[in-house]
Amino acid sequence: MATTTISPKFQVVIPKEVREKLHLKSGQKMAVVTKGGVIYFIPERPLSAFRGFLKGMDAGNIREDEER
């Protein structure tokens, strides 16, 4: 498990192993979410990055016909 320290300016450095694993780039935006005392940094990705994300998913039987 990687660890980091909060600087006097409240900055956090993301460890190299994590940056490489998630393919993070310098200047990339991150959404910051807190839940249950835990801080989550979620990389913002362009919508085009999700192209093909649901490829092969069966779209049938998701909703009833009368709900459409």
- The Cα–Cα gap between 63 and 8 comes to 52
- Give the model confidence (pLDDT) of 14-24 as tens digits: 999 999 998 89
- Give the model confidence (pLDDT) of 50-66 as tens digits: 777 777 777 676 666 66
- The Cα–Cα gap between 63 and 66 comes to 8
Q: Where are the domains of the chain?
A: 24-56
Instruction: Give me the residue label for tokens 């909060």.
Output: 6
pTM of the model: 0.58
